[in-house]
Amino acid sequence: MNKSLLTGAAIILTLSSCESNLFNNTDDGYLLKVDNGPEYKYSDIELYDSSTHILYFKTSHHDLITEKSATFSVLADGEEIYRGVFWPAYSSSLPYGAFIGSYLTSFYPENVLRIGFIVIDNEPEDKRNDPRIISALKEHNLLHSGLSASINSISIKGTHLNFNFTVTNKDEADLLILDPEKTGPSLFHYFTNGLFIRTLTHEEVFSGSVPAEIPSPWNSWKPGWLSELKSGDSRQFSMNYIIKSSIDPGVYLASFEFPGLAFQVTRDQLWQGNNRIWLGDIRVTKKITLR
């Protein structure tokens, strides 16, 4: 083939490639878009923790901080999966569905973004871990599964209630978690409201109220509060509460929020060697029978 034919073929291939790109969905590389605002590609993300719905950015996301009312969308392979709103914590009302805490109300480090969700009467559907999103995150090696928690047992003897639960590391990384045995119950309950027991119609019969110990300074944390939980490992914990009012035998709903650190951890502190500090919290609910 002579030089002129080669040149012509190259031009045709180039034009065909350009035409193909014009008709391809150019949103395939985007994960998060803010209406009339910034857009973030998968390449902007370090990881996503599906247990807490937290995005960890490679750098800070100051351009995302806003006091204005705005909406955002989360995509997978160019397809919008769900939409949400930015919502200030000081608002007198609550958002509905997916939301992101806006200006100075996210309570997380500058490179961390948590997507919350409020549901009323099972509506709307929570799509934060939609299979299409999970699949796209896996393809980009961004998916991390974080922690899971389960309630093992609740037993009552007189005015003493013993609560036993398990925390499991389902993440690909070894994690550092708040350890109630190291913090002690008072400091641990600064980060969580503890155990709640309600009737099946959601009337509260018990709350694990423990006088909370405020860290000093209030926005600090210490490595001694944390324990390593290796990938795939589980750890059981027990907590004791005093019952102020008797609880009748019967079937109840028990709920508990296992806490992690949040704003206390800066971006450069997130990784301690090969271990990641687990941020956020997870809530577990279980139907129990008290005798």
* The pLDDT of residue 12: 38
pLDDT of 248 higher than 70:
yes
What is the dihedral sign for C-alpha 57, 62, 64, 65?
positive
- 116-155 residue pLDDT tens: 999 887 788 999 999 999 999 999 999 999 999 999 999 9
3-state helix, strand, coil in the chain (%, to 5): 20, 40, 40
> Is residue 5 over pLDDT 90?
no
The predicted-structure confidence for 66-78, as pLDDT tens digits, reads as follows: 556 689 999 999 9
Contact between 190 and 213 under an 8 Å Cβ cutoff? The reply is yes
Type and span of the H or E element at 132: helix 131-139
Is the per-residue pLDDT at 6 higher than 70? Answer: no
Q: Which residues pair with 238 in a beta bridge?
A: 164
Helix (H, G, I), strand (E, B), or coil: what is residue 110?
coil
Task: Quote the pLDDT of residue 281.
Answer: 97
What's the pLDDT score for residue 268? 93
- The full set of domain ranges for the chain reads 30-139, 147-290
Exposure on the CB side of residue 55, measured as CA atoms within 13 A: 25
Q: What residues pair up with 82 in beta bridges, in sequence order? A: 74
Does residue 154 contact residue 100 with C-beta atoms inside 8 Å? no
Say if residue 89's pLDDT is above 80.
no
178-253-144 Cα angle (round to 5): 40
pLDDT at 171 over 90: yes
At 18 the pLDDT is: 41
- Contact assessment for residue 279 and residue 54, using Cβ atoms and an 8 Å cutoff: yes
Distances (CA, A) of 227 to 73, 113, 182, 183, 291: 36, 24, 8, 10, 34
Q: For residues 85 and 182, is the Cβ–Cβ distance under 8 A?
A: no
Confidence of residue 287 (pLDDT cuts 50, 70, 90): very high
| pLDDT at residue 158 is higher than 50 | yes
pLDDT at 10 over 50: no
Starting at the edge strand that comes first in sequence, how are the strands of the sheet with 143-144 ordered?
A: 112-114, 54-57, 45-49, 143-144
Superfamily holding 147-290: Intracellular proteinase inhibitor BsuPI (2.60.40.2360)
Question: What is the per-residue pLDDT for 17?
Answer: 41
Dist CA 116 CA 128 (whole Å)? 9
Interval 188-229: pLDDT, tens: 999 999 999 999 999 999 999 899 999 999 999 999 999 999
